[in-house]
Amino acid sequence: MIRVFDQGIEGAGLFMIEFGDIVPYFSVYTATLFTFAIIFTLLATFSIPEKQMDIIFGGDAYYAKEIKPQDLRFQRFVAIACGTATLGAVVTGDIFNFTLFAAMIGITNIGIVASSRSHHVLNAAYQYGIVAMIACVPLFGGAAMILATTGTLSIWSLAGIGAAPILAKILLLLGVMGEGMAPFYIGKAEITRAQGAPFILMVHVSSLLLFLRVVEIILVI
Amino acid sequence: MIRRLSHILSDFDKLSQIYAVLVIIVIIGGILTIPSLEYQADRLYPKTIHPESPLDPYDRGGTPFEKTEVLAEYPENSPYLGYVTAYLTPFSLALATLTHHVGTTIVAHPGGIIDEILYNTRGLDTVVETSILFVAFGVASFLFLRRDEE
Amino acid sequence: MTPEFIIGLGLILLGTVSVAWASPKDYLTRLINLEIPAFGLLLVMLSFDEMLALLTFIAVSTVSTFIFVRVIGKREGVN
Amino acid sequence: MIEYLLSAMILGLLLHGIHRKVIARVQGRPGPPIWQELLHTLKFLFKETWIPKTASQGLYVGVVALALAIWSAALILLLTGGSLLLLFALYLIHKIIEHGTGLSSGSQYSKFGAIRSVISAASELPLLASVALLYLFTGSLMISDIEAYQVINGPLLIPAFPAAIALYMVILSKIHYGPFSIIEAKELVSGYWTEHFGVWRGLLNAAFGLKTFVLLYTFVMVFIGPIGLPLTLLAILILMITLSFVCAVTPMLSPYDSVSIQTVTTGLIAIYIIYLGVFA
Amino acid sequence: MISIYQSGLIAAFICIIIAFISLYQETDDLHRLILTDLTEIMALLLIALIATDLAEALILPGLVVMIAELMALAEIYLVKEGIQRKKNSSALDIEVMQTAPPILAGILVLYGIILSGFSGGAVAGLGIIFYSVCKGSDELFAQIETASGYAWVAWIAAFFIFLLLPGQWFFAVMIAGGAILIKVMAKFSLIGTMGGDPGV
Q: Span C9-38, mean pLDDT?
A: 86
B-side interface with C, Cβ within 8 Å? Answer: 47, 49, 57-58, 103-104, 107-108, 114
> Which residue of chain C is at minimal alpha-carbon distance from B102?
C51
The answer to whether residues B90 and B22 belong to one domain is: no
Q: Span D38-65, mean pLDDT?
A: 80
Which chain A positions have a beta carbon within 8 Å of E160's beta carbon?
none
Q: Span A122-126, mean pLDDT?
A: 84
The answer to whether residues B56 and B102 belong to one domain is: yes
pLDDT of residue D190: 64
pLDDT of residue A70: 78
Judge contact between D142 and D83, C-beta under 8 A: yes
pLDDT for A78 beyond 80: yes
pLDDT for D279 beyond 70: no
Task: Return the percentage of chain D with pLDDT > 90, whole number.
Answer: 0
The count of other CB atoms within 10 Å of the CB of residue D215 is 23
Which chain A positions have a beta carbon within 8 Å of B30's beta carbon?
167, 170-171
**How many Cα atoms are found within 13 Å in the side-chain-facing hemisphere of D142?**
15
Rg (CA), chain C: 14
Q: Would you call A214 an interface residue with chain E, using a CB distance cutoff of 8 Å?
A: no
- Which residues partner with A53 through β-bridges? A64
Q: From the list E58, E70, E79, which residue is nearest A96 (CB)? A: E58
Q: How far is A187 from chain B (nearest CA, A)?
A: 6
Q: How far is B34 from chain E (nearest CA, A)?
A: 7
Instruction: Count contacts between A and D (CB, < 8 Å).
Output: 141
pLDDT tier, A55 (very low <50, low <70, confident <90, very high otherwise): low
CB contact under 8 A, C16 and E18: yes
Q: Would you call B32 an interface residue with chain D, using a CB distance cutoff of 8 Å?
A: no
| Mean pLDDT for chain D overall | 80
Q: Which of E45, E54, E83 to mutate to test the interface with B (most CBs of B within 10 A)?
A: E54
Give domain limits for chain C.
3-78
Chains touching A (at least 3 CB pairs under 8 A) are B, D, E
Q: Would you call B81 an interface residue with chain E, using a CB distance cutoff of 8 Å?
A: no
Which chain D positions have a beta carbon within 8 Å of B9's beta carbon?
256, 259-260, 263
Judge contact between D278 and B27, C-beta under 8 A: no
pLDDT lower than 70: segments of chain E: 1, 84-101, 133-141, 192-200
CB contact under 8 A, B144 and E85: no
The phi-psi region of residue D177 (left if phi > 0; otherwise alpha if psi is between -120 and 50; otherwise beta) is left
Helices E53-81/B123-146 angle, 10° precision: 20
pLDDT of residue A6: 73
pLDDT of residue A22: 85
Segments forming the whole domain that contains residue B16: 2-36
Q: How far is B51 from chain C (nearest CA, A)?
A: 11
Q: How far is A19 from chain E (nearest CA, A)?
A: 7
Q: Would you state the torsion angle of the CA atoms of residues D147, A216, D274, A100, taken in this order, to the nearest 10 degrees?
A: 180
**How many Cα atoms are found within 13 Å in the side-chain-facing hemisphere of B137?**
28
Q: Which of B135, B145, B149 to mutate to test the interface with A (most CBs of A within 10 A)?
A: B135
pLDDT for A76 beyond 80: yes
CB contact under 8 A, A185 and D121: yes
- The Cα–Cα gap between E33 and C75 comes to 13
pLDDT for D68 beyond 60: yes
Judge contact between B54 and B97, C-beta under 8 A: yes
pLDDT of residue E199: 41
CB contact under 8 A, A130 and B120: no
Task: Return the percentage of chain A with pLDDT > 90, whole number.
Answer: 10
Q: Among B65, B45, B60, B57, which Cα is nearest to B103's?
A: B57
- The Cα–Cα gap between A37 and A17 comes to 18
Q: How far is A133 from chain E (nearest CA, A)?
A: 7
pLDDT of residue A98: 92
What residue spans of chain E are helical by DSSP H?
4-25, 29-48, 53-81, 96-99, 101-115, 117-135, 141-164, 169-196
Q: What 3-state class would DSSP assign to B72?
A: coil
Q: Which of A137, A152, A172, A191 to mutate to test the interface with E (most CBs of E within 10 A)?
A: A137
- The Cα–Cα gap between B117 and E53 comes to 8
Q: From the list E34, E86, E195, which residue is nearest C66 (CB)? A: E195
Judge contact between D273 and A219, C-beta under 8 A: no
The count of other CB atoms within 10 Å of the CB of residue B35 is 10
Burial of A152 (0-12, 13-18, 19+ CB in 10 A): buried
Which chain A positions have a beta carbon within 8 Å of D274's beta carbon?
none
pLDDT for A215 beyond 50: yes
- The Cα–Cα gap between D208 and A29 comes to 23
Judge contact between D126 and D167, C-beta under 8 A: yes
Burial of A210 (0-12, 13-18, 19+ CB in 10 A): buried
CA distances from E58 to B82, C17, E63, E119 (A): 19, 27, 9, 13
- The Cα–Cα gap between E185 and E121 comes to 4
Q: Dihedral sign for Cα A140, A145, A148, A152, please.
A: negative
- A22-27 own/partner pairs: CB under 8 Å, 24+ apart: A22/A92, A22/A93, A22/A94, A22/A97, A22/A154, A22/B122, A22/B123, A22/B124, A22/B125, A23/A93, A23/A94, A23/A154, A23/A156, A23/B74, A23/B77, A24/A88, A24/A91, A24/A92, A24/A93, A25/A91, A25/A93, A25/A155, A25/A156, A26/A91
Q: Among D176, D165, D172, which Cα is nearest to D130's?
A: D165
Q: From the list E23, E55, E76, which residue is nearest A126 (CB)? A: E76
Judge contact between D213 and D13, C-beta under 8 A: no
Q: Per the structure, how many domains does chain B have?
A: 2
pLDDT tier, A1 (very low <50, low <70, confident <90, very high otherwise): low
Which chain B positions have a beta carbon within 8 Å of C55's beta carbon?
104, 108
Residues sharing a CB contact under 8 Å with residue E15, sequence separation 6 or more, in sequence order: C12, C13, C16, C37, E41, E42, E45
Residues sharing a CB contact under 8 Å with residue D212, sequence separation 6 or more, in sequence order: D12, D15, D16, D174, D175, D240
- The Cα–Cα gap between E137 and E139 comes to 6
- Which residues partner with A64 through β-bridges? A53
Q: How far is B10 from chain E (nearest CA, A)?
A: 16
CA distances from B93 to B101, B110, E119 (A): 13, 12, 20
CB contact under 8 A, A103 and E69: yes
For residue range D217-245, list pLDDT tens digits in order. 888 888 887 888 888 888 888 888 888 88
For residue range C24-66, list pLDDT tens digits in order. 778 888 888 888 899 999 999 888 888 888 888 888 888 888 7
pLDDT for A175 beyond 70: yes
D99 vs A193, higher pLDDT: D99
Q: Dihedral sign for Cα A94, A97, A99, A105, please.
A: negative
Residues 133-172 of E with CB under 8 A from C: 133
CB contact under 8 A, A186 and B73: no
Q: From the list D88, D96, D140, which residue is nearest A205 (CB)? A: D96
Q: What is the 3-state secondary structure (H, E, C) of chain D?
A: CHHHHHHHHHHHHHHHHHHHHHHHHHCCCCCCCCCHHHHHHHHHHCCCCCCCCCCCHHHHHHHHHHHHHHHHHHHHHHHHCCEHHHHHHHHHHHHHHHHHHHHHCCCHHHHHHHHHHHHHHHHHHHHHHHHHHHHHHHCCCEHHHHHHHHHHHCCCCCCCHHHHHHHHHHHHHHCCCCCCCHHHCHHHCCHHHCCCCHHHHHHHHHHHHHHHHHHHHHHHHHHCCCCCHHHHHHHHHHHHHHHHHHHHHCCCCCHHHHHHHHHHHHHHHHHHHHHHHHHC
For residue range A85-102, list pLDDT tens digits in order. 999 999 888 899 999 999
A-side interface with D, Cβ within 8 Å? Answer: 7-11, 28-29, 32-33, 36, 39-40, 43, 46-53, 55, 62, 64, 181-183, 185-186, 188-189, 192-193, 197-198, 200-201, 204-205, 208, 211-212, 215-216, 219
Task: Return the percentage of chain D with pLDDT > 70, whole number.
Answer: 92
Whether omega for the bond prior to residue D230 falls within 30 degrees of 0, making it cis, is no
ipTM for the complex shown: 0.88
Helix (H) or strand (E) holding A27: strand A25-27
For residue range A151-170, list pLDDT tens digits in order. 888 888 888 777 788 888 88
Q: How far is C71 from chain B (nearest CA, A)?
A: 13
The answer to whether residues B58 and B78 belong to one domain is: yes
> Which residue of chain D is at minimal alpha-carbon distance from A218?
D132
CB contact under 8 A, B9 and D263: yes
**From A26-40, B49-63, E8-22, the region with the lowest mean pLDDT:** B49-63
| Mean pLDDT for chain A overall | 81
Q: Would you call E62 an interface residue with chain C, using a CB distance cutoff of 8 Å?
A: no
**From A72-76, B81-85, D11-15, D269-273, the region with the lowest mean pLDDT:** B81-85
pLDDT of residue A2: 61
- The Cα–Cα gap between D191 and D227 comes to 37
Q: Span D6-28, mean pLDDT?
A: 86
Q: What 3-state class would DSSP assign to B37?
A: coil
Buried/exposed code over B57-93 (b: 16+ C-beta within 10 A; e: otherwise): bbbbebeeeeebebbbbbeebbebbbbbbbbbbeebb
Q: Which of A167, A176, A190, A193 to mutate to test the interface with B (most CBs of B within 10 A)?
A: A167
Q: Span A18-28, mean pLDDT?
A: 84
Amino acid sitting at position B88? L
Q: How far is B89 from chain D (nearest CA, A)?
A: 51
pLDDT of residue A101: 92
CB contact under 8 A, E50 and A147: yes
- Which residues partner with E117 through β-bridges? none
Pairing of strands A25-27, A53-55: unpaired
Which chain A positions have a beta carbon within 8 Å of B148's beta carbon?
none
pLDDT tier, A185 (very low <50, low <70, confident <90, very high otherwise): low
pLDDT of residue A184: 56
- The Cα–Cα gap between E112 and E117 comes to 9
CB contact under 8 A, C52 and B103: no
